[in-house]
Amino acid sequence: MAADDTTPLGRWLARDDDEEDLWRRLAPGPSVDEVARRISAVPRSFLEPGLSVRALVGDVLEELVPDPLAPLSAPARQVAEVAALVDADRDDAARRGAAVALWTWASQDDLGPTAPRLLPWAAARVLAAMAWRLAPVVDPREWLADAERRDEAARTFLFWGGQLPAGEDVATARALLESRDSLRRDQSLGQALEEQRHRVEVLRRLREARAREAAARPGHE
């Protein structure tokens, strides 16, 4: 199954984020329950139809996008690009997914910081995951109404943000996330996800082979 790059799922698959590599380098994060609690407290204003994700980014992630007219750093530019695409696509579920992610960061000002703090350095990837990977199969309104779906959203936020849930090791966190992964369990969409994961794995092996070849050349230091 080939995904259209202009659909939410197509945009996600086109990113080719390396899931296996990310599992190997997670930083400590807050607990899933703590993140889920913050998701459940999202203000109604973050779920309004026609919400501007780009405007929310400017309000919430000021450390990444301090001035929309100033030259952007690479992380800030990536956040702005994802937000602009979410707005341009006019998909309300995707907008709500991105908005919930932004509220989760904003909640550290309103509800106090998590311990450890939620990391903003992978904000673009988190916005993409929540808007394009999870929201198309589980509407963000279900994250608020159903505890298991909220747990899935919290785990998705933490994982793609590069953080390991407090109190869990990698094997446990991975098993729990995969058991709740609505996209992977959807037969009509899961095939596209597996094809993307295979493509990323092939590209990684090619990079590793080239690195070994370069290291074996005479004169390599």
Q: What is the pLDDT of residues 67-91, one digit of tens each?
A: 655 666 778 889 999 999 999 999 9
Q: Residue 205's pLDDT is what?
A: 63
Q: Residue 7's pLDDT is what?
A: 87
Quick one: which of 135, 127, 41, 2 has its CA closest to 76?
127
Separation of alpha carbons 122 and 73, rounded Å: 13
- Rg of the chain's alpha carbons, rounded to an integer? 18
pTM, rounded to two decimals: 0.83
Quick one: which of 188, 182, 178, 153 has its CA closest to 40?
153
Separation of alpha carbons 44 and 107, rounded Å: 14
Q: Residue 193's pLDDT is what?
A: 59
Q: Which band of pLDDT confidence, cut at 50, 70 and 90, is reported for residue 185? A: confident
Q: Which band of pLDDT confidence, cut at 50, 70 and 90, is reported for residue 184? A: confident
Span 94-145, pLDDT tens digits: 999 999 999 999 999 999 999 999 988 899 999 999 999 999 999 999 999 9
Q: Is the pLDDT of residue 1 over 50?
A: no
What rounded mean pLDDT belongs to the chain? 86
Tokens of 167: 């109190």
Neighbours of 50 (CB within 10 A): 8
Locate the domains of the chain by residue range.
8-216
Q: Is the pLDDT of residue 2 over 60?
A: no
Q: What is the 3-state secondary structure (H, E, C) of the chain?
A: CCCCCCCHHHHHHHHCCCHHHHHCCCEECCCHHHHHHHHHCCCHHHHCCCCCHHHHHHHHCCCCCCCCCCCCCHHHHHHHHHHHHHHHHCCHHHHHHHHHHHHHHHHHHHCCCCCCCCCCCCHHHHHHHHHHHHCCCCCHHHHHHCHHHHHHHHHHHHHHCCEECCCCCHHHHHHHHHHHCHHHHCHHHHHHHHHHHHHHHHHHHHHHHHHHHHHHCCCCC
Q: Residue 123's pLDDT is what?
A: 92
Lowest mean pLDDT among 1-10, 114-123, 187-196: 187-196
Q: Which band of pLDDT confidence, cut at 50, 70 and 90, is reported for residue 13? A: confident
18 φ/ψ angles, rounded to the nearest 5 degrees = -90, 95
